[in-house]
Amino acid sequence: MKNYPLPMTGLEDAVGYRFADTEKLTLALTHSSYSNEMKSRDIIMECNERLEFLGDSVLSYITSGYLYSEFPDLPEGDLSRIRAGAVCEKTLYRLADAIGLGNYLMLGHGEEHTNGRKRPSILADAFEALLAAIYLDGGIEPVKEFLLPRITAEINGIIKAGNDRDYKTSLQQVVQKEHGDILEYVTVGERGPAHMKVFTVEARLNGNVIGTGNGRSKRAAEQNAAREALALFGL
């Protein structure tokens, strides 16, 4: 039977980063339930909630920067949607569980005996605190080295799930409910060199623009225009 928490060196191995100041890592792993128990014994011990606050911003900064640079054709709404999926509790829990983060947490007896080491909210919060601890100890680069390979896999999954939907077909089905409506896609612009062209397409319903999309191909631009139009219909 394992004695928890496990030595922190195991977590450093999983993360691929050695802390110059291990107190920062200790703080990231200290749940409020543990610090509250220590206070009841007149031992003052800070919990990881402030680090979690900072880590949330570090996570958003790195994820936003990656999305902005890697997907220049996506509008702000799509970037926000993808980021929201990439940094949600479910995703962070999965990333935390993959490195065995729960094994290293310092929990109070109540959380220890109610499976707190596997609770998604606790693990997601601790993951953000861990990012902040790495940032404070070594700067932004080691956080990127740890986070990006993991978060990009999540981002690619979110994008693939979105790409699997045929937005043009979905929009056509909505339009067909009204007889006589005319749906068309009109290319209204293109920019960039021949090998990196970006097309702009408008989705028009009875001559009125209901969606605009950009893409590296006309087909991709049409899909993005249809997606924006569907949002107009609340779909």
Please measure the distance between the N-terminal and C-terminal CA atoms of the chain and give it in whole angstroms. Answer: 51
Residue 172 CB coordination number (10 Å) = 12
Using the structure block, give the residue that is written with the tokens 């953000």.
128
Task: Please state, in angstroms and rounded to a whole number, the distance separating the CA atoms of residues 17 and 39.
Answer: 31
Q: What are phi and psi of 188, to 5 degrees?
A: -110, -5
Name the burial class of residue 150, with classes exposed (0-12), middle (13-18) and buried (19+) by CB atoms within 10 angstroms of its CB.
middle
List CB contacts of 183: < 8 A, sequence separation 6 or more: 171, 172, 175, 203, 204, 205
Name the residue among 54, 62, 59 with its Cα closest to residue 87.
59
Catalytic annotation on 56?
yes
Candidate list 37, 52, 128, 202, residue with the active-site label: 128
Catalytic annotation on 23?
no
| Residues known to be catalytic | 56, 128
